[in-house]
Structures are given as C-alpha cells and as structure tokens.
Chains A and B, each alone.
Chain A
Amino acid sequence: MQIPTGHQHPLTRMIAEINDIFSKIGFEFAEGPEAELETYNFDRLNVPKDHPSRDMQDTFWFKSTDVSAPTVLRTHTSSVQARYMEQNEPPIKIIVPGKVFRNEATDATHEAQFYQLEGLYVDQGVHMGHLKGTLEYFFSEFFSGKTEVRFRPSFFPFVEPGVEVDMKLLEGESKLAGKWIEVMGAGMVHPNLLKVAGIDSEKYSGIAFGMGIDRLGVMKYGVEDVRDYYTGDLRFVNQF
C-alpha cells in the first residue's frame, strides 16, 4: 500500500507563501537570531530605556551570568530591521518571518511563542502610499481576493507616523469578506532608527510593518486556538 503523503505545518506553509508573494515585488527574505541582544531588540528600535515593554512581565531574559551583554528572547522580528539596516545600504527591501516570544499568560488567542512577519522598505521617495499599495497587494494574494486596506492612527516607538492597519476582503465567500479586520501595526520608519544605522534620514525614508503569522492562519483557515500550532498533534497538522 502506498504511503500517504506527509503534511506541511500551516506556519511554514504560510511563510513559504508569504515569501513567494513578496519575492515577486522585490522583497528578500532576511533573518536574525531568536536569542537577541537587548540593544537590537529595544535600544536601536527607539524603545526608551524605561519603556514598560522592557519590564519582566513582557520579555524573557537570559541569565546575566550566561551572557556578557544583556540578551532576550526577541519579542518581535523588528530586531532584524536594526541588524539589517546596520549592515546594508538602501535600497533595502526585506521581509523577516520568524519566531518571537512574549512572557504573557497564554489562552486561545495568545501564545508565549508565535511567528511574526516583519517588512521593511527603505529607499528615496518611499511614503505611506507605498505602504498601502504593498499591503493591498499582499493581502489580495494571500487571501485570494481583492483586498482593501485602511489606516488608523497608532503608536509604536519604531515608526512615526505609526498606523494600525485594517483590511477588508472585497469579494468571495470567505467569512472575512466585506468587513474591516484589524491585522497589523505599521508606519514610516522612525528617523532615529535610520540615524543609528548610519542612513541619512533626510535622503531616505522607509516603510515598516509587522503582523502575527499565527493570526493570519486564524483568518485564512479558521484556526480557533493559536496554541494548537505548537502541540505537535497531527490531527491538527494533517488537516493542512
């Protein structure tokens, strides 16, 4: 009897799809460490020293006896923004899918570990219109239907202006169709990030965005409990 074909985990499947969609418009796949230096996870992202997110309750810290410089489990893939801009000159056009960690109580919509997708595009003349167009293209491809995006004001230390992004699938039978759904945070790269990376903020500007891949799966497939991604249970995986 023939061996049934194995199944790809929805997270890595979505990452492959995301990469496929973004590679067609010139975004390269970048990566960085999960055990990250405090400086890349916070300082170089313009997160002030006394910012609440550095508190023990949100961030996992490695023991100071194990490291020569303060090290955390990265709380977002934004840390790769700081690393990449330090090592590369504009134009920069990257996506960073990867695992991140938050020291938070878990429930059906929160896991202490989850996957995030970061996007960064720095060049001359990049503006909010590029952000909107890029995201509309991505969601339309990812959810297989024409998708509109709207911005609402928001705040993240690494962008200014910062926005919350809602998407609306304009067509199709999906449960998502026809309503605004909050999907991610985004904005124009804060000039402090460009400066600390040695990029002239008068000459260059950039867009940045970040969203949870686990949540994209909740929307795309109807996954009800995000903890199911990490159980190793094939009754979950083999449905994909």
Chain B
Amino acid sequence: MKVVHNWLKEYLGEQLPDAKTVEDLLNLHAFEIDGVEEKAGETVIDVDVLPNRSSDCLCHRGIARELATILDVQMEYDPLASVPQFSGTDAIKVSVADSSACPRFTASLITGIQVGESPSWLQSRLQALGQRPINNIVDATNYVMYAIGQPLHAYDADLFPKVDGAWQFDVRYAQPGETVSLLAEGGKEEDRIVELTGTELLIVDGSSDTPIGLAGVKGGRYAGVHAATKNIIIEAAHFHPTLTRKTARRLGIVIDASKRFENEPSRELPPFGQQEIIKLITDIAGGKCEGVLDEYLESTTNPQVTVTQKKTNALLGLQLTIQDIAQLIQRTGSSVELSADSLVAQGPFERSDLHIEEDFIEEVGRLYGLDKITSVVPDATQIATINTRQYYTEKIRQCLFTLGFSEVVTTSFHKKGKIQLQNALASDKSYMRSNLSKNLHAALDVNFSHTDMLGLRDVRVFEIGTVFAKSDTAITEHLSLALGVRTKGNGFTAPDERILVGACDALEETLSTSLAWEKEKGVAELNLSTVIDSMPAPTKYDDLPVQDPVVFKAVSLYPAISRDIALWVPAGVSALEVANQLNASAGDLRLRTDLFDEFTKEEKTSYAFRMVFQASDRTLTDEEVAQIMEDVYQTARTKNWEVR
C-alpha cells in the first residue's frame, strides 16, 4: 500500500512525525516498509500491510489510525468517527439476489455537477500514487478509496434508463455464457468482453437486464461519466471477499478496488464512503446530494472477548498489570470493560482481525514493545530420541566422502515419469522423480567435462533424497540412496564398475548389513528407508566433523583453459614451494593448480602440474593464456628450474 506522507496530515495534523519516523514506528510496531520514494513532489512510503490488517489498513485513514495508536495520540480528524446520517431516496432501487454475496448496497444521487479537471492538490496526490487523473468525478471515487478504503463507482444518471420513474440496480449471479464488457486494462484501447460461467456476481441495469459490471472486481463503461455529465449516481457496496477473489483470479484481474473487496473491509464502511465522496464532489464539482439508498441486508458485529492478565503475561513473557493491558488495548480504538484481573474487549468496527484473546494479546505486545521481551537462555538438555534417518544418512555420507564421493542435491521434478502434477511449473518439470539414478547420470555427464576445473581424475557423486511412487489410493515416498562413478569421458566403462562395487562394499561394511543395489551403467541405487528401518536404534549422534572455513566464489559461466607444466627442481624442494612460485606469477585468472606427477632421479625431482585458467566475465583466449604461461616459464627459469 503506497502512502503519501502529507496525506496523513489530514487525519493527524501536526502530530504527524516526519517520514523517517513514520517508517521506523510502523516497522517496529505494525508493518514492514518496502521502500520510500519522492513522486510528484510528495514523499511516498510503500507499506507492506499484513494480510490480517488488509481489511482496515489499505487506506490512508487506516495507516493514520495505526500511527495514532502507536503514538498514543488522538486523531485530529477521523472520517470514521461517527455514523453518517442521510436522507433516503426513492429515485434509486436495488434488488439483491443473494444477500450473503452482497450484504450491503448503497447508492447516492448527486445532481447539477460540473465535470472538469480536479484541483491540483488532488491530482498530485493521485499522481504520487501512480494514478493518472481523469476528471474530477472519477478522481474523487479513486481518492475516497485511497482515503478510507471503500471502492466506489460513478454512473451518469441520464444515460441510465429508469423503470417506473426510478433507477433500478440488480445484483445477481451471471448466467452461464453471458458476457460483460469491462473497462480497458492499463495501456489497452479496447474494452474487454468477458464470458461468464455462472459463479460471478454482476451489477445489472434492471431496466434492460444488461450486465454493467463484475461486482467487486471491475466496472464497465456503461453509463460512464463524460465531459457533459450533469447528474450522477455513486455506488458503494460490500461484496463477498472469496467470491470476489475467485472471479478476479480466474480472469487475472488485480486492481486496487478488487484488492480491497477481497480483503473484506467492514460492512459498516459503504455509508462512510458516501459521506466522503458527497463532501468531496460537492466541493470540487458543485452539485447537490438528493439522497442516499442504503440496502443493509446482513450486518456483523465484532465479538466481545475476555482477556486475562494471566494469559497475556504467560504468552508475552511480561509482567503487565491489568490496567497496563487495558490502556494498551484502548489505544487501538477498542472498547474495554475492566475487572479485577481480566477485561472484556471489543475491537472497533473496521478491525476484522480481533476475534480471540490471543489477537488482543498480540496488540498488547506490539504496542508495549516487542523489544521489551527478555530472552530466556535455553538450558543444556539431553535428547531422548535420536533420529535414525539423520544418524544413518550422516554415517553413509562420511563413509562416502572418504572414498572420494561428493554429495549432490538435485531436482525432485522430472520431464517424464509416472506421477504427474496437476499444475506443473513448466512442461519439463511436470512429473515427480521416482528414482535418483536419472539425475545422477546427468550429474556425471555435466561434471566430467569439469574435471580439470575440479582437479579430479574421475567424477564420484552420490545423493540421498526422497523419491515418489503411486499406490492405489495415495502417493507414497521413500528415501533413496544413489551413487555414481565416471572415469572416462565417453560414458560407462569397466573401471567405473570396479570403483562403484568398492563403494557399495564399503557401505555394507559401515552399516554391517547386506544391501540390495540396483546397478546400471556406473550408477547404483537402493531403497534407503527399508535399510534404515532394519537398523538398530542409535543412542547418540556422531560428533560433527570439523569443517575448514569456506571461501565461496560463484561458479563462472565461461569456459576454462588448462595448461600442463613439468619441471626439474633440486631434490628437497617441495611441490608446494614450486606451486606457490608458479601461482604467484600466474596471476588472478588462475583457478587452480594440481600436481599430477612426481618422481625423483638422482639429485633432481620432477613435478608435473596442471594449471587451470578461467575468467568470471569473459571467455579467455589461447593468446591470453599463452602470455600467462610465458610469465610462469620465466619465473621457473629465474629459479634455475628446468622446464621439461
């Protein structure tokens, strides 16, 4: 919710703190701040209103009320302070087919207005919110929505045919196949014609049974306000939030009005919307209100909730008196009846989130200050149960690391398979994996081309993860273990099998049990859940192996180039010493240096190193690497090492 800082002054006057203080107060006591910008000469604060407060805080009055609560001050002007009183009208009638879908419908008639541009203060406030001013009537409906959270719609009364001398609105469900024309979406020229399924709620012109808007979701151009409009009808209603959300989602419509209806603003709100807009329009466009229709079919009231001192302190870990608690709750605008060690609270009508004791306790906590909660340092405690899965999988991992196997964690989604998701992310991710072997084969392929970069002669990988299967009535799953070996670039060869068998045997020995592997082309897999189920219950986790400090560097997307260098050095000069010298002259583009051969003959030792080069921002050329190697040779020569 974008909030214009100056707008809040309407409600808080000189009590409004500067924008930075507003941010800090909201952040620590109410809502996170997503950002702040200067726009159209205004400071605009983007407030991430929480889902349970989207019914009352998706508007400037709501945010101002929240600030008044946090600061413990009275609002200077509260548009929701007292229930509006209107004279009724017989000129507008409404017929609502389902009162639970539309529990309240109000409409006002304003005559003798003059359509024109909005005053500049109004235009700049809308522009600060990213809205394009249209004319004073349409702008006023938008303004009131951003001010108090009630969406409104204006019709040209003279373009709206009457029935028996009255304007007739109907609110009914669509018929399957019926269409409605909706206002063009941002940037588009043509209105959108939407075909309906029958679950959508419509606003209908009763004179001809013509759908003129999707209730709560979006309006149409029907009887739209234009430059010569003189008399207008303003609609302000309450529509069922779930119904609104479903229709809006299905049609992919997310606009500020539908967002507000979806979050169930109070049913008490529509008359306040009328009061605000009648005041604003008669101010900026002239005219006179002839009366307001208010069809209130189903009302709700906030519950009375008992809040005890005991429970409040028990959950928050504080020592508040019941008087403290009462004062904090009263700051929210709730009514409070105090007893000895408890109170009965009722939230103000616009707050739909205060239903149970814990809801009020949350208010107490955030207003008192969550920073005043003192940490309880946990005691050292023995655990009674060791997780067998965690225990044995760690044991298996440690065994495989000593055999040179590294662990991968791969995607649970496959392109093909037996278990298809109802709603996949992409066509190549629409099935759940039923084995790990497939991903492991892919990992062997990918990694074999990187052995130089990895300083490895062969690739050994394993994964421990969940795989899925189907029974008659459910999706089943188990933990699987798979390991794979690749020693040659052209695919599976006999040496792969020898290493794999060695690893499988080592695991049998580690676990002291026989294992039923399924082997295929250098990859072995087994059902680890059944293995672990048959293992004895462990009594203590093994100590965590010590890990060297990690210096992580993002993997470069550009290819690497390898060069080998072999040289004679006097016996007694260590490989590390030689490598350090070579590396120093090779510079920053060197990724790694690996010793791959070493032998000593008489007084001399031969070392062979593979040096790998890679840039993080480009593909290296052979010439660049040749130049680097020339520097490396030069260093060797100055040390009197004989390059072979």
Bound CA span A128–B375, Å: 8
Give the residue among B383, B413, B419 with the most A Cβ atoms within 10 A.
B383
Bound CA span A136–B376, Å: 10
Main secondary structure of the interface of A (DSSP, over half): mixed
A62-B475 CB under 8 A given contacts A20-B544, A56-B423, A133-B376 = yes
Cβ contact within 8 Å between A240 and B550? yes
Interface check B422, CB cutoff 8 A: yes
Cβ contact within 8 Å between A152 and B401? no
Interface check B370, CB cutoff 8 A: yes
Tell me how many residues of B have a C-beta within 8 Å of chain A.
106
B463 contacts across to A, CB distance below 8 A: 232
Bound CA span A35–B478, Å: 10
Q: Among B375, B432, B473, point to the contact of A129 (Cβ < 8 A).
A: B375
Q: Among B50, B374, B390, point to the contact of A155 (Cβ < 8 A).
A: B50
A125 contacts across to B, CB distance below 8 A: 314
Bound CA span A150–B365, Å: 13
Give the residue among B412, B422, B454, B463 with the most A Cβ atoms within 10 A.
B422
Cβ contact within 8 Å between A28 and B385? yes
8 Å CB interface, A67-105 against B: 67-69, 71, 73, 93, 99, 101, 103
Bound CA span A15–B391, Å: 12
Question: 0/1 per residue, A214-237, Cβ < 8 Å to B?
Answer: 000000011111001111111111
Tell me how many residues of A have a C-beta within 8 Å of chain B.
95
Task: Give chain B nearest CB distance to A165 CB in angstroms.
Answer: 10
Interface check B384, CB cutoff 8 A: yes
- Across chains A and B, the number of contacting residue pairs, with CB separation under 8 Å, is 268
Task: Give chain B nearest CB distance to A107 CB in angstroms.
Answer: 13
Task: Give chain B nearest CB distance to A144 CB in angstroms.
Answer: 10
Bound CA span A123–B74, Å: 41
Interface check B429, CB cutoff 8 A: yes
Task: Give chain A nearest CB distance to B347 CB in angstroms.
Answer: 14
Which of B26-34, B142-150, B208-216 is near enough to bind chain A?
A: B26-34
Cβ contact within 8 Å between A28 and B387? yes
A6-B408 CB under 8 A given contacts A136-B375, A160-B358 = no
A188 contacts across to B, CB distance below 8 A: 315, 358
Q: Among A26, A60, A61, point to the contact of B382 (Cβ < 8 A).
A: A26
Cβ contact within 8 Å between A153 and B412? no
B358 contacts across to A, CB distance below 8 A: 160-161, 188, 190-191
Cβ contact within 8 Å between A223 and B475? no
Question: 0/1 per residue, B381-399, Cβ < 8 Å to A?
Answer: 1111111011001100100
Q: Among B375, B406, B422, point to the contact of A64 (Cβ < 8 A).
A: B422
Cβ contact within 8 Å between B370 and A152? yes
A127 contacts across to B, CB distance below 8 A: 314-317, 376
Cβ contact within 8 Å between A232 and B410? yes
Interface check B76, CB cutoff 8 A: no
Interface check A146, CB cutoff 8 A: no
Cβ contact within 8 Å between B376 and A130? yes
Cβ contact within 8 Å between A8 and B407? yes
Interface check B553, CB cutoff 8 A: yes
Q: Among B32, B402, B466, B473, point to the contact of A152 (Cβ < 8 A).
A: B32
Interface check A143, CB cutoff 8 A: no
Cβ contact within 8 Å between B387 and A31? yes
Cβ contact within 8 Å between B402 and A230? no
Interface check B409, CB cutoff 8 A: yes
B473 contacts across to A, CB distance below 8 A: 67-68
Cβ contact within 8 Å between A130 and B317? yes
Bound CA span A1–B423, Å: 50
Residue of B nearest to A34 (CB): B466
Residue of A nearest to B362 (CB): A161
Cβ contact within 8 Å between B401 and A113? no
Interface check B582, CB cutoff 8 A: no
Bound CA span A173–B520, Å: 48
A232-B356 CB under 8 A given contacts A26-B381, A153-B362 = no
A162 contacts across to B, CB distance below 8 A: 362
Interface check A41, CB cutoff 8 A: no
Bound CA span A164–B32, Å: 9
Interface check B138, CB cutoff 8 A: no
A235-B461 CB under 8 A given contacts A112-B425, A222-B552 = no
Question: 0/1 per residue, A135-164, Cβ < 8 Å to B?
Answer: 011000000000001111111000011111
Residue of B nearest to A225 (CB): B554
Cβ contact within 8 Å between A153 and B454? no
B585 contacts across to A, CB distance below 8 A: none
Which of B113-121, B162-170, B445-453 is near enough to bind chain A?
A: B445-453
B439 contacts across to A, CB distance below 8 A: 232
Name A's B-contacting residues (CB within 8 A). 1, 3-13, 15-17, 19-20, 23-31, 33-35, 50, 52, 55-56, 60-64, 66-69, 71, 73, 93, 99, 101, 103, 106, 112-113, 125, 127-130, 132-134, 136-137, 149-155, 160-164, 188, 190-191, 205, 221-225, 228-240
The 3 A-B pairs with the shortest beta carbon distances in the complex, nearest first, are A26-B381, A129-B317, A161-B362
Name B's A-contacting residues (CB within 8 A). 27-32, 50-53, 241-242, 245-246, 249, 314-317, 356, 358-359, 361-362, 365-366, 370-371, 373-387, 389-390, 393-394, 397, 400-413, 419-425, 429, 432, 439-440, 442-443, 446-447, 450, 453-456, 459-461, 463-466, 468, 470, 473-477, 541, 544, 547, 550-555, 596
A231-B410, A234-B408 given; 19 more Cβ-contact pairs under 8 Å: A1-B596, A6-B402, A8-B406, A24-B381, A25-B379, A28-B385, A67-B473, A67-B475, A73-B421, A129-B376, A137-B378, A153-B50, A154-B50, A160-B359, A163-B370, A228-B554, A232-B446, A233-B450, A234-B461
Q: Can you list 29 contacts pairing A with B, beta carbon distance less than 8 Å?
A: A8-B397, A8-B401, A9-B409, A16-B544, A20-B541, A26-B378, A31-B389, A35-B468, A60-B425, A63-B420, A64-B422, A99-B412, A128-B315, A128-B370, A130-B378, A133-B375, A151-B373, A152-B28, A153-B29, A153-B370, A155-B52, A160-B362, A228-B554, A229-B409, A231-B446, A234-B450, A235-B555, A236-B555, A239-B552
